[in-house]
Amino acid sequence: MAGRQPDPFDDPMSLYEDNPLRERKWLQAIWRGRGTVRPESWRLYFVVLLGGEAVGMQDLIGVNFDRFRTVTTFSWLAPGARRQGLGREMRAAILHLAFGGFGAAEATSEAFFDNEASNRVSGALGYRPDGRDWATRRGEPAVLNRWRLGREDWEVRRRSDIELIGVEECKPVLSIQ
């Protein structure tokens, strides 16, 4: 990926060139997140593998989940792994964990307005538009599309080919009843 210009919507953690400082900061953020799992706030980090190679990440974030039963998803795929249906597959899998495994009532997601692929994935999986917000991207303001998926809309598209393993063992750590 060296020498390739990132898409405008890409997160700065994208490693388009060897940058040990950027990589270290990214890893520290993940380790910090893993080390601060609390009942009122948690973030689960999952790696996306293609042919045994890490090509992306899929996160599930819960803030006051025990009270609101709402999660937020975060997805990222390396440019070489895009346009193969992986974005939809990995989001469907994490939504299955949220709704089928943890009993979520709704899930939210955001994508920059020009991240057409991510916005298409949200729409295809049943999310409904939920307004817009602003974020800073490379030092400049940029519009985010917000998305919301209710349990009922997920149930309509629920997949039968996704298997959850070990969910019951992790629920107590997250204080999920």
Check pLDDT > 80 for residue 23: no
- CATH number of the domain bearing residue 132: 3.40.630.30
H or E element: which one contains 134? strand 128-137
pLDDT digits (tens, 9 = 90+) for 26-54: 788 888 888 888 889 999 999 999 999 99
- Structural domain tally of the chain? 1
User: How many C-beta atoms surround the C-beta of residue 30 within 10 A?
Assistant: 14
- Whether 73 is in a domain gets the answer yes
Mean pLDDT, rounded, of the chain: 89
- Whether 150 is in a domain gets the answer yes
- Whether 12 is in a domain gets the answer no
- Whether 56 is in a domain gets the answer yes
List the single range of 65-74, 112-121, 131-140 with lowest mean pLDDT.
Answer: 131-140
pTM: 0.86
C-alpha distances out from residue 11 to 43, 56, 119, 137, Å: 17, 12, 15, 8
106-112, strands of its sheet edge to edge: 41-50, 53-63, 70-77, 106-112, 140-150, 128-137
Collapse the DSSP code of 177 into the 3-class scheme (helix H, G, I; strand E, B; otherwise coil) and give the result: coil
- Domain range for 119 is 39-174
Please name every residue paired with 129 in a beta bridge, in sequence order, or none if there are none: 147
- Whether 27 is in a domain gets the answer no
- Interval 157-167 mean pLDDT: 96
pLDDT digits (tens, 9 = 90+) for 70-128: 999 999 888 889 999 999 999 999 999 999 999 999 999 999 999 999 999 999 999 99
- Whether 32 is in a domain gets the answer no
Beta strands 128-137 and 106-112, pairing class: unpaired
When pLDDT is cut at 50, 70 and 90, the band that residue 1 belongs to is: very low
- Whether 31 is in a domain gets the answer no
- The end-to-end CA distance of the chain, in Å, is 43
- Whether 111 is in a domain gets the answer yes
When pLDDT is cut at 50, 70 and 90, the band that residue 16 belongs to is: very low
